Structure 1
Amino acid sequence: MSVNNLHPSVESFKDFVKKHPKMIQEVRKGQKTWQEFYEEWYLLGENDVTWKKYGDVEVQQENDSAESKQSFVSQMLQAVKTMDANAMNQNINKVSNTISTIQGLMEQLGLSKAAGPQNSNAPNSPFSFRKD
């Protein structure tokens, strides 16, 4: 038989493998052979629960990302529920006061942009040439 004239069961197995890409990864890692997969597929059929773990990677990734998004949202909602508004307001005020204190120190030490030397008569050009 040539490659174009494969047995119908082999053709349907190839289609099945395309729907279950993790099988390819296992064969490449040397954990199983195509013969073993084919025999299991032939005996168990396509609808056996064994094949779920070899299922479509993209669908599993989408399910995992949806679950992680839901868990993140639920964690955020739980944090908001347990948050004390008064304590949060006090913390924000403390941070604001700290920032104001740091800005005041910087101004006293001359580290702010406004405290730098401002010479309005200084030429814009580094060269001392004058225009006629």
Structure 2
Amino acid sequence: MTQKKLNPSVLKFKEFVKNNPKIIKEVRNGKATLQELYEDWYLLGEEDKRWDDIGSENDSEPETNNESKGDWMSNIMGMVKKIDPNQMQNHINNLSQALGAIQGVISQFQGGNAASGSVKPQEGPKHPFSFRKD
């Protein structure tokens, strides 16, 4: 495999990143790009306090975020498992009837006095969201 010869400063930065895995975590978390970090490293040097601050912020935050995301997802999945399809069908039918009634009232107001007797609310299928059992 042929490999391009990299600038010596880029090689030094790659070695710096290998020695500081917290920098990779910062990039993976989307807090910075490698380009931005390289530019900071090039301008500030390896001994700057910015490199010490990177790890202290990121160590505790992702764990709590992952735990809360996991709890949130498990709560949603638990609720989905508890849903009764028949009860959901009844709720959808009630909502459909309510929307039909609202559409009828709106169409009466929009139609004016001349067309008020001939305007009918649109009738759709009785069960537009039917659940089928496997």
Give the TM-score normalised by the residue count of structure 2: 0.41
Q: Which has the larger radius of gyration?
A: 1
